[in-house]
Structure 1
Amino acid sequence: MIEKITFLLFAAAALIASGGETATVLRDFRDAAGFSLNAAVGSVSGDGTILRIDTTGRDEAWTPVFRTRPGVLKPGTDYVATFQYRIDSPDMEKKFLHFLCRPFSRPDSALDTMRRNEGRSEKFRPVKIKFRTGTRADDYAFQIHTFRKLKGEIMDFTLAEGTGEVYLAATPDTKPFTGSLGKLPTGAKEFTIEPPDNPGGTVVDAAEFGVSPENPDNIPALNRALEHCREIGAARLTVRPGVYRMTSDVPLRFRGMRDFVFDGGGATFIWLKKRQPNFLVEQCERLVLRNFNMDWEWKKDPLASLVEVAAVTPESVDFKFVEYETFPRRDVRVAIVSSYDPATKSVGIEGGFDRGFEFYAGQNRPKTEWLSGNLLRVYAHDLGRFRPGQLFRMQHYYYDMGGFALTDNRHLTIEDVNIFSCAGHAFVVSGTQQFWEFRRVNIAAPKGVPRRVITCTADHCHIARSRGFFRMEECEFSLGADDCLNAHDCSGYAEKSGTHSVRTRNMRAIDTYPPGTPVELRHGDYSPSGFRSTVVSTRTIDNGKGIHEITFRDPVPEPIDDGFILFNWNYDTRNIIVRNCFFHDNRARGILLLGRDITLENNRFRHNEMGAIKIETGYTFNVWSEGYGADNIVVRNNTFDSVNPRDVANDGKARDIYMGVYMKTDPSTERTRYPILSNILFENNRFRDSFGLVAFISSAGNVTFRDNTFENPTPRRDPLPYRAAFFVTSASDVKIVNNRYIASPNVPNPGVFYDPESVENIVAAGNIVIPEK
């Protein structure tokens, strides 16, 4: 039945297609009037079919090679570039071709609408790049630059106006879809967290060990109390109400605790330190942490500040600290600035941006100069996006220290805890952690306290690896500097080096691959290789570059591409339940789901700067490699309000929900036809004021959106033709059915766009436009 419906929809698409046809703008390199070529590094073959590039004689990091001339591209218009390229001795870490869409007259990246790197193939490799020009300039150009020194060629080049996509419209008179949707995912299974079982255990008062609000530092006394509890097998440690200072550069240690409750008694712990997490919780079982508040000493050391651009030159930008007459730290660190919305009192505005300076403490520190008590000059380059009067949240910390480090625990409960602020991640989970929960854990600024523009300076909760079974209920995560929840396991990339061995690239944690570790090898497109074996040994070749040799018990097969992706099955972040939570006003995304057997229900997402949910997996050669794919995910009865105000896009398309992969770099425009993201259901959700697509769906299979509602009453500064629609590419068995659009002039094309070259078995039916109430 589905195949028949799909065929009928394909046939009808020709009648309602929008942007499906393309019109050629440039073909090959024959028309020199249509482009500008840097003759010092580029040349065209005699027949005009091949562009030859040679920047091996240049010392610059970036070299422009090719630009279409003003007038060739129109503002606010879709284009498709197709070509083949090759590179001599490819090495994406050291050199690559950089394709971008930028105004011809702009030397900086301020108005770029597309950037993509290619350079991993010595043989000609086909590429298709879809992009859309912006509206803030009238001379956008398709450009080719190089990063560092390389030699290569480009041929079969075509630049065409249009999208090449098919559009299936939602209409007022559509009939409900009544066909079969096949097997739908079920999400996570319910599970139990075991409570502490220590009925005869001792109750210890922390004050007996010297814990007191009068102490300048309570960490040593609390650690003595905790060690005493561990030694005698106590049932509970209690803290009296009050405000406690914490200044040692060591954490509170919960190590090897069993059947134990830490009751904070409503106390507030305030940290001021330079290193180490606040709480270190490891190898504990049936542990409860409850009833306390965590904060930072803002009067002496603000974690972030609200600043206004006072002046800009090509070499410097002046920031005024608007809430201070004299800023308390004269050795201030400018980690990153993010555009700030005074209406929501949080980061994230349309057309906004981030700019990193001293992102990692001590690295790339810019020269700074205090011009007055609250006016700071920062010396830097590429400042074209800064304008006087702009507001930013300036972070003075990012990946520093952290709140809770949770490792290798089982049956852990954290409840009734308020995190007002902390330096770094609020929670980092690692190791073989399994069966844990957050209940009424709130990461939110304290009410009525001024200058609190941030809570945690990195992710709210970052699950780097675990064995799953995590539940969070009735929690609020807000105002943090990165994702609210990022749940994944760390993967890796390697190339075959022997009959039984592989050599890794950028492997950060070789210590998680001891002998006996079960490892699966996936091909570079995430398709199964059929190989799963155990580690026999590891050998470090270059630890700084993450190069190690791993030897397995069984012979390694031949890759179908350049190498393999490693799944370490000592870890399996799965069976996650998130209910009745509120994620809002944070930098980055609401939730990243890179696991399986997951249920999200009855949650609220509001003003998440870069989108609400990402379901993805990916690997890189220079930063992170995260996720083993995604499977069996249910997202139901949630509300999404004004997520992605920053207009963050994939393949030039802004989106609320993103499903896809990144390969070699993050982000990347490479996709896989293998459905590494599969069995995903969104139902009965409400989306309000999408800034772009409702969902970008790629590298996926068996994805269903049904019975969702979309309302878009608020106009955008930059209207998008695909607002509140869906886009599907490199996917199969996608069903978008029986969704409701509340009629709005801000949604010109409600419905589904898809790429006919890479999508199989798509069903878009029963999607109706209903009158506004």
Structure 2
Amino acid sequence: MNSSRRHTSAAPMEAQSIRIDCPAAGDRRKVSVSEFGAQPVEGFCNGEAFRKAIEYCRQEDISELVVPRGIYRFISGEHPVFDGLRDFRFDGGGSELIFSTAAAFVTIRHCERAVFENFTVDWDWDQEPLASIGRIRQVAEDGLSFELELPEYEGVPKRFDIRTLNPMNPRTLTPGCEGGKEFSGEPLGPVTVVARNALRIELSNAADYRFLKPGQTYIVRHYVYDANGFELQGNRHLRMADITIYSAPGHAFVVSGEQRNWTLDGCRVVKRPGTTRCISATADGCHISNSQGHFVIENCDFSYNGDDCLNIHDNSVQGFERIGVAKLRLSRVFKWRNPFAEGDPIEFRRTDLSPTGIVARIVEAQWDERGEGCTIEFEAPLPDDLVGNEILFNRKYDSGRYVVRRNFFHQNRARGVLLHAGDGWVENNHFYLNQGSAIQIECGAESRWAEGFGAENVTIRGNLIESCDVNHWNMAVIYMGVYLEQGRTRYPVFRNICIEDNTIVNCPQQAIFVSSCNRVFIRNNAIMNSNTGPRKTAEDGDGNCVSNRELYLGSLMVSHAEDVTIENNRRLTIVPATEDGICVDPETTDNVLVRNNTGFGDRSGVDERTKESG
């Protein structure tokens, strides 16, 4: 092998030295919310008292706001907003803040050197549940209706919107189960109460719901993306510590804007003990989008989320209409998701994610009234060879440079950690019973989603992954790939990725799949009981599974890649498996080195290399 192509790894050292400054020391005063009328009393609304206390802290440069221990309710919809505070500490004193209006529970924006710690937030489930356990009692013979029993309740709650039905294991009551298929409540027909705690739900056609059978159990979400627990926007040097979120009608934490240098330490997104709740936050545990990165998430617990435990990404968009030499019209955008603005540098990528070499700066962005369409004018004429299907990256944002360590990601509906950004360390975490992949590295653009600018310099090390990919979402518990309308790409949008010293136990299909990458190192991993689920074929239907399942071969697979090293990995099987090999697609890969691996069938320990290009 040519020495210029020797496989060596480059660690993202910058991510390990992220600094979060503490509030500056001083002799400024401390005040209590009780001084402004806050009361831990049933039926009392604390919105106005907290607002007055926070405003006083801002105007008088108060260093610390404390909350005497108790349960504080927010009833009228006025929720705490911390804006522009500096060198500030909020000590919740072990209190609980209970909310009953679908608006962000706590907003923290444009604060600098601030600490928020030691309190719990929750939704008022006595008012209405965020989700319910539903069990199919009966399916009509003609397949045009089914009866859904609600075993938690004596009667059907007054408000019972059916937003989604997500399969759950009826024995463990955890999200996902073998062969489970989720479906939306939007196309369902009329709903009728047929018993004290049972509903009949009409179906528009029987063919799409042939999978329904008596005894199947579902998480019935009544809220999905309605309101977030914490909205963190544009803060610098922010520390969130020892905060518990029992539930929220949306994401638990949302991070966006100029946010940079921040941490979650010892925070928990968990179900309230002593309840029969089937969900915590109805969407992601922590959703990071269009931010400035530089963060640490450590010692946290994310569980029973309605979507991913942790999602790190920036948003792109594909397709536009040329309406002038320097002006474009975008129609597949939303202002909240694609915050184009004056001064933003926009990079144009081809449909395979390869660079065009074109970067242009916005001088004006005009949004329509609904925020669902945008006209962008650039400071200079754009090249004539832009054809209109290119993918736009807004390079103002980069949510990369992160450390995710010593966290517990478990028993949630979707992925454990979804990485669309680079310069990161994901180490010493525990992943357990996540319905989708434990760790998914992704980038893509299509009509539904357009997320990520690729990922470079990522280390995935020392993680324990147990019983994940419950529903065979991505065919591998560590999955790296793109989603594009034309399929996979040879362009290496993922570079310098190290997957080492991880233990993977009990996965239904592959342990590791990597693609659209170069300089990837898969080494010293222990894989136990991989490929123990039934083979998936096209007859299974899409459901929660990827398409083209027949293209996923072996226990570890490389496709559309270059310069990959697979070495010193050990596979151990105690129960029967459908496959056991290391699969390297010879038609889409170059320079893949496989050596010193054990337990991978006929290819164990074989030192071999696919063709080298160039």
Q: Contact conserved, 2:415 with 2:434, CA < 8 A, in 1?
A: yes
Cross-structure match for 2:396 = 570
Which amino acid in structure 1 is aligned with residue 217 of structure 2? L
Cross-structure match for 1:521 = 348
Cross-structure match for 1:482 = 307
Note if 1:236 corresponds to 2:71: no
Change (3 A) 1:517 1:473: same
Change (3 A) 1:523 1:322: same
Cross-structure match for 2:561 = 731
Note if 1:553 corresponds to 2:382: no
Note if 1:756 corresponds to 2:586: yes
C-alpha separation in 2, matches of 1:708 and 1:288: 38
Change (3 A) 1:259 1:217: same
Give the structure-2-normalised TM-score: 0.89
Cα offset, 1:749, TM superposition: 3.6
SS at match of 1:346: coil
Cross-structure match for 2:286 = 461
SS at match of 2:562: strand
Cross-structure match for 1:190 = 17
C-alpha separation in 1, matches of 2:530 and 2:508: 11
Cross-structure match for 2:541 = none
Match of residue 146, structure 2, among 317, 335, 341: 317
Change (3 A) 1:183 1:233: same
Cα offset, 1:513, TM superposition: 2.4
Q: Contact conserved, 1:250 with 1:277, CA < 8 A, in 2?
A: no
Cα offset, 1:642, TM superposition: 0.7
Cα offset, 1:496, TM superposition: 6.1
Give the structure-1-normalised TM-score: 0.72
Which amino acid in structure 2 is aligned with residue 468 of structure 1? G
Q: Contact conserved, 1:505 with 1:545, CA < 8 A, in 2?
A: no
Q: Give runs of aligned pairs for residues 12-31 of structure 1, distance below 5 A.
A: none
Which amino acid in structure 2 is aligned with residue 315 of structure 1? L
SS at match of 1:769: coil
C-alpha separation in 1, matches of 2:374 and 2:93: 48
Note if 1:635 corresponds to 2:464: no
C-alpha separation in 2, matches of 1:713 and 1:701: 25
Cross-structure match for 2:479 = 658
C-alpha separation in 2, matches of 1:500 and 1:545: 21
Cross-structure match for 2:487 = 670
Change (3 A) 1:388 1:568: same
Cα offset, 1:676, TM superposition: 0.9
C-alpha separation in 2, matches of 1:198 and 1:366: 61
Cα offset, 1:538, TM superposition: 2.9
Which amino acid in structure 1 is aligned with residue 182 of structure 2? D
Q: Once the two structures are superposed, what CA deviation does each residue of 1:327-372 show, in whole Å capped at 9, x if it has no partner?
A: 3x223111111111134331111111111104xxxxx674211112
Cross-structure match for 2:542 = none
Q: Once the two structures are superposed, what CA deviation does each residue of 1:629-686 show, in whole Å capped at 9, x if it has no partner?
A: 111000000011011111124xxxx21122111124xxxx611111111111100000
Change (3 A) 1:601 1:517: same
C-alpha separation in 1, matches of 2:300 and 2:285: 11
Cross-structure match for 2:362 = 535
Change (3 A) 1:699 1:550: same
C-alpha separation in 2, matches of 1:544 and 1:3: 56
Match of residue 202, structure 1, among 29, 42, 46: 29
Which amino acid in structure 2 is aligned with residue 319 of structure 1? L
Cross-structure match for 1:353 = 181
SS at match of 2:53: helix
Note if 1:471 corresponds to 2:296: yes
C-alpha separation in 2, matches of 1:308 and 1:445: 20
Change (3 A) 1:561 1:588: farther
Q: Contact conserved, 1:691 with 1:724, CA < 8 A, in 2?
A: no
Which amino acid in structure 1 is aligned with residue 255 of structure 2? V
C-alpha separation in 2, matches of 1:618 and 1:714: 27
Match of residue 710, structure 1, among 521, 527, 531: 527
SS at match of 1:221: helix
Match of residue 591, structure 1, among 388, 401, 417: 417
C-alpha separation in 1, matches of 2:371 and 2:395: 23
Q: Name the larger-Rg structure.
A: 1
Which amino acid in structure 2 is aligned with residue 568 of structure 1? N
Bigger shift: residues 240-249 or 674-683: 240-249
Identity of aligned residues (%): 35
C-alpha separation in 1, matches of 2:507 and 2:2: 29
Bigger shift: residues 487-496 or 287-296: 487-496
Q: Give runs of aligned pairs for residues 54-453 of structure 1, distance below 5 A.
A: 181-186=7-12, 188-214=15-41, 215-273=43-101, 275-313=102-140, 314-327=143-156, 329-358=157-186, 366-381=189-204, 382-447=208-273, 449-453=274-278
Cross-structure match for 2:543 = none
Cross-structure match for 2:572 = 742
Q: CA RMSD in A?
A: 2.4
SS at match of 2:55: helix
C-alpha separation in 1, matches of 2:307 and 2:582: 30
Change (3 A) 1:715 1:751: closer
SS at match of 1:512: coil
Cα offset, 1:3, TM superposition: 8.8
Cα offset, 1:692, TM superposition: 0.7
Which amino acid in structure 1 is aligned with residue 466 of structure 2? D
Which amino acid in structure 2 is aligned with residue 731 of structure 1? A
Q: Once the two structures are superposed, what CA deviation does each residue of 1:267-287 show, in whole Å capped at 9, x if it has no partner?
A: 0111111x3200111111111
Bigger shift: residues 542-551 or 635-644: 542-551
Bigger shift: residues 414-423 or 548-557: 548-557
Cα offset, 1:505, TM superposition: 3.5
SS at match of 2:451: coil
Aligned length: 579
C-alpha separation in 2, matches of 1:375 and 1:661: 42
Change (3 A) 1:443 1:557: same
C-alpha separation in 2, matches of 1:589 and 1:232: 44
Match of residue 581, structure 1, among 407, 417, 420: 407
SS at match of 2:342: coil
Q: Contact conserved, 1:483 with 1:590, CA < 8 A, in 2?
A: yes
Match of residue 645, structure 1, among 470, 473, 478: 470
Cα offset, 1:624, TM superposition: 2.8
Cα offset, 1:439, TM superposition: 0.5
Change (3 A) 1:740 1:271: same
Which amino acid in structure 1 is aligned with residue 364 of structure 2? S
Q: Contact conserved, 1:689 with 1:711, CA < 8 A, in 2?
A: yes
Q: Once the two structures are superposed, what CA deviation does each residue of 1:33-87 show, in whole Å capped at 9, x if it has no partner?
A: xxxxxxxxxxxxxxxxxxxxxxxxxxxxxxxxxxxxxxxxxxxxxxxxxxxxxxx
Cα offset, 1:737, TM superposition: 1.2
Q: Contact conserved, 1:494 with 1:502, CA < 8 A, in 2?
A: no
Q: Once the two structures are superposed, what CA deviation does each residue of 1:564-606 show, in whole Å capped at 9, x if it has no partner?
A: 2111122111111011000000001011111110001100001
Bigger shift: residues 722-731 or 306-315: 722-731
Q: Contact conserved, 1:584 with 1:607, CA < 8 A, in 2?
A: yes
Q: Contact conserved, 2:9 with 2:498, CA < 8 A, in 1?
A: no
Cα offset, 1:755, TM superposition: 2.3
C-alpha separation in 2, matches of 1:770 and 1:546: 50
Which amino acid in structure 1 is aligned with residue 146 of structure 2? V
SS at match of 2:423: strand
Which amino acid in structure 2 is aligned with residue 564 of structure 1? E
Q: Contact conserved, 1:724 with 1:747, CA < 8 A, in 2?
A: no
Unmatched 5+ stretches in structure 1: 7-179, 359-363
Change (3 A) 1:288 1:242: same
Change (3 A) 1:694 1:507: same
Q: Contact conserved, 2:188 with 2:203, CA < 8 A, in 1?
A: no
